[in-house]
Amino acid sequence: MQDPRRVVTPANAILVLGALTIGSTLLWAMHEDAQHTVRRERLEQQAAAQEQLPRQPSTEQRRHMAAQFVCGHGVAYEWVNANTVECHQEPAAKLALGR
């Protein structure tokens, strides 16, 4: 005969499986929380690094810098087409710098 204290009943098996399930779920939740924290910190570091990078100039600013390079600083210019700039040594009344 078996010892009555060592008999595994279905109720005992369910309690053991339930306890294992709860323990496993808690461990999984702790792991996911740690992973979430690591991901959030990494994203915050990337955002801080992005803020430190110099901003790229806009298209308008690039065109203005290109015209200054060609014509010189403080000289009026006018874009004829996308690739051609016309420099005006004497600023006319109708022309404005940067247009």
Whole-number Cα distances in Å, 41 to 7, 27, 48, 52, 65: 51, 21, 11, 17, 38
Determine the pLDDT at residue 54.
75
Q: Decide: helix, strand or coil at residue 57.
A: coil
Query: Is the predicted pLDDT of residue 1 greater than 80, yes or no?
Result: no
DSSP state of 87: E
Determine the pLDDT at residue 91.
47
Mean pLDDT over 34-61 rounds to 88
Query: Is the predicted pLDDT of residue 85 greater than 80, yes or no?
Result: yes
Better pLDDT: 50 or 63: 63
DSSP state of 5: G
Global model pTM greater than 0.75: no
pLDDT band at 21 (very low <50, low <70, confident <90, very high): very high
Determine the pLDDT at residue 17.
95
Q: Which residues contact 92 (CB under 8 A, 6 or more apart)?
A: 76
